[in-house]
């Protein structure tokens, strides 16, 4: 596949950060780790990877702004462009020696995601997409799965944990979905969950409590692979609502319907 100069910049940044993460993954027991909140960890590896991505992207496009998991919002002179970066999605996996984690980079132009890269260095899997140009895994064109019924589908999800989410409501959602599908999976890295939907490995995905940096690149991958994304209210308001539902057209619609069944009272 032919990549634009802009996408090449993103790929270079993601892979350089990924190499740093791979080195730290081999020495994970020696990393400095701190707690941002209940069940929410940040490591020295997160900060190193974010520094690499920030430096690489700033050098290539010095005027662009940033939204980054660890550094937050950084305003740029060019208010039309913003990088959305998660330097290590799946930190808990990473810290437990589970090789399911990724660097995620998206470019937002005038409020629209126009390019995305997700890189899992442990498996050397590079997912890329540009708006209107398709989605790819290591240069192989991606298409979402073609399954038409929930009963044939494997659906991924993110599970609330200590201090995060409405556990009672989630358990009802899980009960409703698991009663209609062939299987449910939980990777622990939303960026890769979305990339797997784009690759047809998962038929659908839902999660609440996410941030823009968890979703931005994966949303574009799914759309460019022929899939659909929305928030749980069927609107394109994922960043504000912090929720996402994804799949091909039929699975997306069916999953939304299942998730809208009555929940537990708050």
Annotated binding site for Mg(2+): 69, 86, 88-89, 214
Helix axes 5-25, 44-60, angle to 10 degrees: 160
Q: Which letter does DSSP use for residue 202 in this model?
A: S
- Which of 145, 103, 99, 95 lies closest to 128 in space, CA to CA? 103
| In contact, 206 and 218? CB cutoff 8 Å | no
Q: Is 157 left (phi over 0), alpha (psi -120 to 50) or beta?
A: beta
| In contact, 116 and 195? CB cutoff 8 Å | no
**Distance separating alpha carbons of residues 129 and 83, to the nearest angstrom:** 15
247 to each of 6, 104, 107, 211, how far by Cα in Å?
Answer: 27, 20, 22, 19
Joined together, the tokens standing for residue 194 give 């979305």
| In contact, 88 and 94? CB cutoff 8 Å | yes
* Annotated binding residues: 69, 86, 88-89, 214
| In contact, 247 and 255? CB cutoff 8 Å | yes
| In contact, 142 and 225? CB cutoff 8 Å | yes
Provide φ and ψ at 141, rounded to 5°: -65, 140
Joined together, the tokens standing for residue 205 give 């995905």
Residue 41 CB coordination number (10 Å)? 14
């Amino acid at each position: 596949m032919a990549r634009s100069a802009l996408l090449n910049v993103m790929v270079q940044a993601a892979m350089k950060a990924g190499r740093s993460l791979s080195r730290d993954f081999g020495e994970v027991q020696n990393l400095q780790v701190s707690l941002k909140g209940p069940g929410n960890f940040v490591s020295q590896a997160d900060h190193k990877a974010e520094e690499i991505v920030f430096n690489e992207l700033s050098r290539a496009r010095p005027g662009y702004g940033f939204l980054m998991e660890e550094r937050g919002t950084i305003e740029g002179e060019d208010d039309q462009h913003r990088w959305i970066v998660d330097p290590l999605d799946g930190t808990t996996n990473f810290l437990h020696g589970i090789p399911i984690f990724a660097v995620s980079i998206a470019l937002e132009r005038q409020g629209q995601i126009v390019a995305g890269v997700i890189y899992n260095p442990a498996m050397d899997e590079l997912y890329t997409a540009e708006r209107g140009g398709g989605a790819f895994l290591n240069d192989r064109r991606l298409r979402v799965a073609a399954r038409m019924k929930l009963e044939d589908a494997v659906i991924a999800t993110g599970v609330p944990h200590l201090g995060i989410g409405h556990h009672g409501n989630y358990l009802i959602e899980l009960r409703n979905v698991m009663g209609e599908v062939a299987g449910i999976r939980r990777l622990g890295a939303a960026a890769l969950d979305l990339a797997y939907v784009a690759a047809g490995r998962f038929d659908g995905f839902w999660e609440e409590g996410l941030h823009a940096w968890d979703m931005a690149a994966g949303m574009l991958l799914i759309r460019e692979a022929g899939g659909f994304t929305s928030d749980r209210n069927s609107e394109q308001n994922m960043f504000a609502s912090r929720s996402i539902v994804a799949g091909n057209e039929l699975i997306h619609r069916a999953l939304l319907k299942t998730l809208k069944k009555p929940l537990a009272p708050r």
